[in-house]
Protein backbone atom coordinates (compact mmCIF):
# COMPACT_ATOMS: atom_id res chain seq x y z
CA UNK A 1 0.00 0.00 0.00
CA UNK A 2 1.30 3.46 -0.87
CA UNK A 3 1.94 6.01 1.84
CA UNK A 4 -1.28 7.86 2.62
CA UNK A 5 0.17 11.33 2.07
CA UNK A 6 2.67 10.59 -0.70
CA UNK A 7 3.72 13.83 -2.43
CA UNK A 8 1.45 16.06 -0.32
CA UNK A 9 2.72 19.43 0.88
CA UNK A 10 1.91 20.08 4.54
CA UNK A 11 2.49 23.15 6.71
CA UNK A 12 2.53 22.61 10.47
CA UNK A 13 2.64 25.76 12.60
CA UNK A 14 4.31 25.26 15.95
CA UNK A 15 5.79 22.15 14.39
CA UNK A 16 9.17 22.24 16.11
CA UNK A 17 8.11 20.53 19.34
CA UNK A 18 5.40 18.72 21.25
CA UNK A 19 2.16 17.94 19.44
CA UNK A 20 3.23 19.81 16.30
CA UNK A 21 6.42 17.81 15.93
CA UNK A 22 4.56 14.56 16.59
CA UNK A 23 2.19 15.38 13.74
CA UNK A 24 4.99 16.58 11.45
CA UNK A 25 6.92 13.33 11.93
CA UNK A 26 3.77 11.33 11.29
CA UNK A 27 3.17 13.21 8.04
CA UNK A 28 6.75 12.64 6.94
CA UNK A 29 6.43 8.91 7.62
CA UNK A 30 3.42 8.86 5.31
CA UNK A 31 5.29 10.50 2.42
CA UNK A 32 4.44 14.18 2.87
CA UNK A 33 6.86 17.04 2.42
CA UNK A 34 6.56 19.04 5.62
CA UNK A 35 7.21 22.69 6.38
CA UNK A 36 7.86 23.13 10.09
CA UNK A 37 6.81 26.74 10.67
CA UNK A 38 7.62 28.16 14.10
CA UNK A 39 9.15 31.21 15.72
CA UNK A 40 12.18 29.62 17.41
CA UNK A 41 14.89 29.29 14.78
CA UNK A 42 17.10 26.96 16.82
CA UNK A 43 14.26 24.58 17.69
CA UNK A 44 13.23 24.62 14.02
CA UNK A 45 16.72 23.52 13.05
CA UNK A 46 16.71 20.59 15.47
CA UNK A 47 13.21 19.51 14.43
CA UNK A 48 13.82 19.65 10.69
CA UNK A 49 17.01 17.62 11.02
CA UNK A 50 14.89 14.83 12.52
CA UNK A 51 12.22 15.14 9.85
CA UNK A 52 14.68 15.27 6.94
CA UNK A 53 15.87 11.80 7.93
CA UNK A 54 12.38 10.65 6.98
CA UNK A 55 11.40 13.14 4.25
CA UNK A 56 14.51 14.81 2.85
CA UNK A 57 12.59 17.46 0.89
CA UNK A 58 11.03 18.95 4.04
CA UNK A 59 11.96 22.43 5.25
CA UNK A 60 11.66 24.75 8.24
CA UNK A 61 10.47 28.35 8.23
CA UNK A 62 10.82 31.02 10.90
CA UNK A 63 7.20 32.11 11.38
CA UNK A 64 5.47 34.59 13.66
CA UNK A 65 1.79 33.62 13.49
CA UNK A 66 0.82 37.02 14.87
CA UNK A 67 2.45 38.89 12.00
CA UNK A 68 0.63 38.99 8.67
CA UNK A 69 3.78 39.74 6.68
CA UNK A 70 5.43 36.67 8.18
CA UNK A 71 2.39 34.55 7.26
CA UNK A 72 2.43 35.87 3.70
CA UNK A 73 6.13 35.09 3.37
CA UNK A 74 5.50 31.52 4.50
CA UNK A 75 2.82 31.05 1.86
CA UNK A 76 5.07 32.54 -0.83
CA UNK A 77 8.01 30.39 0.29
CA UNK A 78 5.94 27.21 0.16
CA UNK A 79 4.49 27.92 -3.26
CA UNK A 80 7.86 28.92 -4.72
CA UNK A 81 9.54 25.76 -3.43
CA UNK A 82 6.82 23.18 -3.93
CA UNK A 83 4.28 24.83 -6.23
CA UNK A 84 1.39 23.75 -4.06
CA UNK A 85 -0.15 23.54 -0.58
CA UNK A 86 -2.31 20.56 0.34
CA UNK A 87 -2.50 20.51 4.13
CA UNK A 88 -2.41 23.12 6.89
CA UNK A 89 -2.19 22.23 10.58
CA UNK A 90 -2.88 25.23 12.81
CA UNK A 91 -1.07 24.07 15.92
CA UNK A 92 0.81 27.11 17.29
CA UNK A 93 -0.41 28.00 20.76
CA UNK A 94 0.45 29.42 24.17
CA UNK A 95 -1.11 29.54 27.62
CA UNK A 96 -1.12 32.09 30.43
CA UNK A 97 -2.29 31.14 33.92
CA UNK A 98 -3.79 33.06 36.82
CA UNK A 99 -5.37 32.03 40.12
CA UNK A 100 -8.76 33.27 38.90
CA UNK A 101 -9.95 34.63 35.53
CA UNK A 102 -10.19 38.27 36.62
CA UNK A 103 -6.52 38.26 37.65
CA UNK A 104 -5.30 37.62 34.11
CA UNK A 105 -3.84 40.81 32.68
CA UNK A 106 -5.19 42.40 29.52
CA UNK A 107 -1.84 41.78 27.84
CA UNK A 108 -1.82 38.07 28.71
CA UNK A 109 -5.43 37.67 27.60
CA UNK A 110 -4.72 39.32 24.24
CA UNK A 111 -1.53 37.30 23.71
CA UNK A 112 -3.39 34.02 24.14
CA UNK A 113 -6.37 34.97 21.98
CA UNK A 114 -4.09 36.35 19.26
CA UNK A 115 -1.84 33.28 19.16
CA UNK A 116 -4.41 30.53 19.68
CA UNK A 117 -7.43 31.85 17.80
CA UNK A 118 -6.79 34.98 15.71
CA UNK A 119 -3.71 33.44 14.09
CA UNK A 120 -5.76 30.46 12.91
CA UNK A 121 -8.06 32.80 11.01
CA UNK A 122 -5.14 34.71 9.49
CA UNK A 123 -3.20 31.57 8.52
CA UNK A 124 -6.26 29.88 7.08
CA UNK A 125 -7.34 32.98 5.15
CA UNK A 126 -3.89 33.31 3.60
CA UNK A 127 -3.83 29.71 2.37
CA UNK A 128 -7.51 29.37 1.44
CA UNK A 129 -7.25 30.92 -2.09
CA UNK A 130 -4.75 28.24 -3.12
CA UNK A 131 -6.90 25.40 -1.78
CA UNK A 132 -9.94 26.88 -3.50
CA UNK A 133 -8.05 27.10 -6.79
CA UNK A 134 -7.09 23.43 -6.49
CA UNK A 135 -10.61 22.44 -5.41
CA UNK A 136 -8.96 20.35 -2.75
CA UNK A 137 -7.46 20.83 0.68
CA UNK A 138 -7.28 19.71 4.28
CA UNK A 139 -7.09 22.02 7.29
CA UNK A 140 -6.67 20.74 10.84
CA UNK A 141 -7.07 23.07 13.80
CA UNK A 142 -5.65 21.99 17.13
CA UNK A 143 -8.07 22.59 19.98
CA UNK A 144 -7.84 21.11 23.46
CA UNK A 145 -9.76 19.44 26.25
CA UNK A 146 -10.38 23.06 27.20
CA UNK A 147 -12.54 23.27 24.08
CA UNK A 148 -14.95 21.12 26.09
CA UNK A 149 -14.23 21.98 29.73
CA UNK A 150 -13.63 25.31 31.44
CA UNK A 151 -10.56 25.99 33.55
CA UNK A 152 -10.45 28.49 36.41
CA UNK A 153 -6.72 29.02 36.00
CA UNK A 154 -6.56 29.24 32.18
CA UNK A 155 -9.62 31.27 31.17
CA UNK A 156 -8.08 32.79 28.05
CA UNK A 157 -6.74 29.44 26.89
CA UNK A 158 -10.13 27.77 27.37
CA UNK A 159 -11.91 30.63 25.59
CA UNK A 160 -9.50 30.49 22.65
CA UNK A 161 -9.81 26.72 22.28
CA UNK A 162 -13.58 26.88 22.47
CA UNK A 163 -13.42 29.42 19.67
CA UNK A 164 -11.30 27.05 17.59
CA UNK A 165 -14.16 24.53 17.50
CA UNK A 166 -16.75 27.08 16.34
CA UNK A 167 -14.38 28.59 13.77
CA UNK A 168 -13.74 25.10 12.42
CA UNK A 169 -17.47 24.46 11.99
CA UNK A 170 -18.01 27.82 10.28
CA UNK A 171 -15.25 27.26 7.72
CA UNK A 172 -16.41 23.70 7.08
CA UNK A 173 -19.89 24.93 6.19
CA UNK A 174 -18.57 27.72 3.97
CA UNK A 175 -15.92 25.77 2.07
CA UNK A 176 -17.40 22.32 1.52
CA UNK A 177 -18.43 23.49 -1.95
CA UNK A 178 -14.73 23.86 -2.82
CA UNK A 179 -13.93 20.30 -1.67
CA UNK A 180 -12.01 21.62 1.33
CA UNK A 181 -12.36 19.71 4.58
CA UNK A 182 -11.57 21.47 7.85
CA UNK A 183 -11.65 19.61 11.15
CA UNK A 184 -10.24 19.91 14.65
CA UNK A 185 -8.30 17.64 16.96
CA UNK A 186 -8.81 18.09 20.70
CA UNK A 187 -5.73 16.70 22.46
CA UNK A 188 -6.11 15.47 25.99
CA UNK A 189 -3.36 15.72 28.55
CA UNK A 190 -0.18 15.34 26.50
CA UNK A 191 3.45 15.30 27.66
CA UNK A 192 5.03 18.45 26.19
CA UNK A 193 7.37 21.22 27.35
CA UNK A 194 4.30 23.18 28.45
CA UNK A 195 2.86 20.39 30.59
CA UNK A 196 6.24 19.38 32.01
CA UNK A 197 6.19 22.67 33.86
CA UNK A 198 2.73 21.77 35.20
CA UNK A 199 4.15 18.47 36.47
CA UNK A 200 6.76 20.34 38.47
CA UNK A 201 4.28 22.83 39.91
CA UNK A 202 1.48 20.37 40.72
CA UNK A 203 2.73 16.76 40.71
CA UNK A 204 -0.32 15.51 42.67
CA UNK A 205 -2.72 16.90 40.06
CA UNK A 206 -0.50 15.51 37.30
CA UNK A 207 -0.86 12.01 38.77
CA UNK A 208 -4.61 12.46 39.33
CA UNK A 209 -5.11 13.20 35.61
CA UNK A 210 -3.48 9.91 34.64
CA UNK A 211 -5.67 8.14 37.19
CA UNK A 212 -8.86 9.59 35.69
CA UNK A 213 -7.85 8.74 32.12
CA UNK A 214 -9.12 5.30 31.03
CA UNK A 215 -5.83 4.71 29.19
CA UNK A 216 -4.14 5.25 32.60
CA UNK A 217 -1.43 7.48 31.20
CA UNK A 218 -0.72 10.88 29.73
CA UNK A 219 -0.56 11.02 25.96
CA UNK A 220 2.57 11.42 23.88
CA UNK A 221 2.89 13.81 20.90
CA UNK A 222 3.03 10.84 18.54
CA UNK A 223 -0.46 9.85 19.71
CA UNK A 224 -1.82 12.80 17.71
CA UNK A 225 -0.29 11.66 14.43
CA UNK A 226 -2.76 8.94 13.46
CA UNK A 227 -5.82 11.17 13.67
CA UNK A 228 -4.01 13.99 11.85
CA UNK A 229 -2.95 11.62 9.07
CA UNK A 230 -6.52 10.35 8.69
CA UNK A 231 -7.91 13.90 8.54
CA UNK A 232 -5.30 14.80 5.90
CA UNK A 233 -5.88 11.79 3.69
CA UNK A 234 -8.49 10.84 1.11
CA UNK A 235 -10.12 8.58 3.69
CA UNK A 236 -11.58 11.66 5.41
CA UNK A 237 -13.07 13.27 2.30
CA UNK A 238 -16.58 12.99 3.78
CA UNK A 239 -15.53 14.13 7.27
CA UNK A 240 -16.01 17.87 7.73
CA UNK A 241 -16.46 20.26 10.64
CA UNK A 242 -15.91 17.72 13.40
CA UNK A 243 -13.79 17.99 16.54
CA UNK A 244 -12.19 14.72 17.58
CA UNK A 245 -10.93 14.25 21.14
CA UNK A 246 -7.65 12.32 21.24
CA UNK A 247 -7.39 11.97 24.98
CA UNK A 248 -7.22 8.34 26.06
CA UNK A 249 -10.89 8.54 27.01
CA UNK A 250 -10.52 11.44 29.47
CA UNK A 251 -13.49 13.41 28.09
CA UNK A 252 -15.98 10.55 28.48
CA UNK A 253 -15.37 10.09 32.19
Which residue numbers are catalytic? 157
Say how many C-beta atoms besides its own lie within 10 A of residue 181's C-beta: 24
> Is residue 66 a contact partner of residue 120, using CB atoms and an 8 Å limit?
no
Sign of CA dihedral 13, 25, 140, 11: positive
d(CA 222, CA 207): 21
Q: How many residues does the chain have?
A: 253
Strand partners, 138: 87, 181
The count of C-alpha atoms lying within 13 angstroms of the C-alpha of 227, restricted to the half-sphere facing its C-beta, is: 22
Amino acid sequence: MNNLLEGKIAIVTGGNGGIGLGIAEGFANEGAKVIVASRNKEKNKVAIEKIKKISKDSESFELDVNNQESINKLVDFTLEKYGNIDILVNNAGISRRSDEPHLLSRGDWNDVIDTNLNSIHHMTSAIFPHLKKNKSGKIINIGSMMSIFGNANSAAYAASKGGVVQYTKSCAIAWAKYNIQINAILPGWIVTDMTNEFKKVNPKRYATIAGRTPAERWGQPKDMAGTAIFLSSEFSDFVNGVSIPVDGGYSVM
